[in-house]
């Protein structure tokens, strides 16, 4: 599903690491915000290197935290995100993205998430 959105993104932090995932190394991620103060997660490749690369062909996807925050305690399958390059909403075709997104959501603290806008981009499509 491709839906154009008029969002502009700003990187909030450098590469962060979630706890080790079943022998695959630490999960690297970055947090972004849009101009409306919405919070997004970008998943990066699993490795221990400081120059962590983005995840394959899906590196442009920024997953909206507000849309998935209530699902953090359940499995997330094929999440959608906003492509950083095209500004289109795309559903991920890699089911690992759902597990990686959930792993990041589980380490975010509610107080931090509450500082950002709670609107859901899913309400627009």
| Tens of pLDDT, residues 8-30 | 899 998 878 777 665 556 678 88
Q: In which band, very low, low, confident or very high, does the pLDDT at 3 lie, cut at 50, 70 and 90? A: low
Structural contact between residues 104 and 29, judged by C-beta atoms closer than 8 angstroms: yes
Determine the average pLDDT of the residues in 69-74. Answer: 92
| Alpha helix segments (H runs only) across 14-108 | 65-68, 96-107
Over the chain, what is the mean pLDDT? 79
| Per-residue pLDDT tens over the stretch 87-103 | 888 888 777 888 889 98
Structural contact between residues 84 and 60, judged by C-beta atoms closer than 8 angstroms: yes
């Amino acid at each position: 599903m491709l839906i154009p959105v008029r969002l502009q993104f700003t990187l909030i932090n450098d590469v962060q690491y979630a706890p080790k995932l079943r022998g695959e190394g630490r999960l690297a991620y970055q947090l972004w915000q849009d101009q409306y103060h919405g919070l997004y997660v970008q998943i990066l490749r699993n490795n221990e290197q400081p120059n962590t690369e983005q995840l394959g062909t899906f590196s442009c996807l920024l997953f909206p935290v507000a849309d998935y925050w209530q699902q953090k305690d359940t499995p997330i399958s094929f999440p959608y995100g906003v492509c950083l390059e095209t500004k289109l909403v795309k559903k991920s075709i890699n089911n690992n993205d759902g597990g990686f997104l959930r792993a990041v959501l589980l380490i975010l603290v509610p107080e931090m998430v509450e500082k950002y806008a709670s609107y859901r981009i899913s309400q627009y499509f």
